Amino acid sequence: MSLHQRLRAATASAHQGLEDALDWRLRVATRDGYRDLLARFHGFHAAYEPALGDALADAAFWGPRRRLPALAADLAHLGMREAEIAALPRPSAVTFSDAAAAMGALYVLEGSTLGGQVIGRHIGAVHGLADAGLAYYRAHGRQTGVMWNAFRARLDRLSGDAEAEAAALAAGTATFDALRIWLCAPEASASPRTG
Ligand code: HEM
């Protein structure tokens, strides 16, 4: 099995669990609900992206995969001020021991761009948004397949390296869990900012 196949198998139940717990159709049914969900994603990406960038140490690969600017732009479009966005709660800062661990965590965030296409189309239709306000869910847009294939190819360069595979699998499952807890906790917007 390739590392991608192993990650997919190891996180299949976590994906289903997140889909079930997220209840995304209900959460994005109102504009305020959609903004609150984006605010949660903003917190998560604010905590994870610096650590991912450091551990990957490859600006050409990582740069187009950053999604914090898109989240900030969407939140601004939905009426939040810059200072409010900067002050949004976020989980504690994380670190990755090496690039393999970062690839495992990034698997979760890059994979979310796949289902995100379906969710983005739904939100666009419900709230009358085209590009502005929908940048996070549009993500790589027409490049989604290309970006996903390039990500998988890089991931699978680690296949067969037992230590790298273990690090990626551990980080992938931990990131899925952390994301579910962060997105689904009641009242995250009222919790103190840490990290
Ligand atoms: C933030 C929440 C989510 C995360 C982190 C996430 C993560 C992922 C990951 C990692 C993959 C890649 C699977 C693979 O290796 O092939 C994926 C694929 C996918 N996800 Fe999600 N997902 C999320 C929410 C959802 C939701 C709510 C839906 C329901 C619409 C969904 C539908 C899909 C679909 C349709 C695919 C493509 C499956 C395929 O092409 O084989 N996801 N997601």
Q: Is residue 8 within 8 Å of residue 164, measured between CB atoms? A: no
Residue 189 pLDDT > 50: no
What would the mean pLDDT of 159-185 be, rounded to a whole number? 97
Residue with the nearest Cα to atom 2 of ligand 1? 112
- What is the chain's alpha carbon radius of gyration, rounded to the nearest angstrom? 16
CB atoms within 10 A of CB 62: 17
| Res 188: pLDDT | 56
Pocket test for ligand 1, best of 13, 22, 107, 112 (most atoms within 8 A of CB): 112
Ranges 9-23, 130-144, 177-191: which has the least confidence? 177-191
Q: What percent of the chain has pLDDT over 90?
A: 94
How do residues 58-107 score in pLDDT, each as one tens digit?
999 999 999 999 999 999 999 999 999 999 999 999 999 999 999 999 99
Average pLDDT of the residues of the chain: 95
Q: How many Å apart are CA 131 and CA 74, to the nearest integer?
A: 9
Q: Which residues' Cβ are closer than 6 Å to ligand 1? A: 8, 15, 18-19, 22, 24, 107-108, 111-112, 114-115, 118-119, 179
Q: How many Å apart are CA 168 and CA 122, to the nearest integer?
A: 32
Report which of 115, 117, 98, 93 is spatially closest to residue 163, judged by C-alpha positions.
98
How do residues 18-32 score in pLDDT, each as one tens digit?
999 999 999 999 999
Q: Is residue 111 within 8 Å of residue 140, measured between CB atoms? A: no
24 Cα nearest atom in ligand 1: 27
Strand ranges (E), the chain? none
Residue with the nearest Cα to atom 14 of ligand 1? 8
Q: Is 76 helix (H, G, I), strand (E, B) or coil?
A: helix
Q: What percent of the chain has pLDDT over 70?
A: 95
Residue with more model confidence, 193 or 111? 111
CA of 112 to the centre of ligand 1 (A): 5
Report which of 163, 158, 168, 57 is spatially closest to residue 106, judged by C-alpha positions.
168
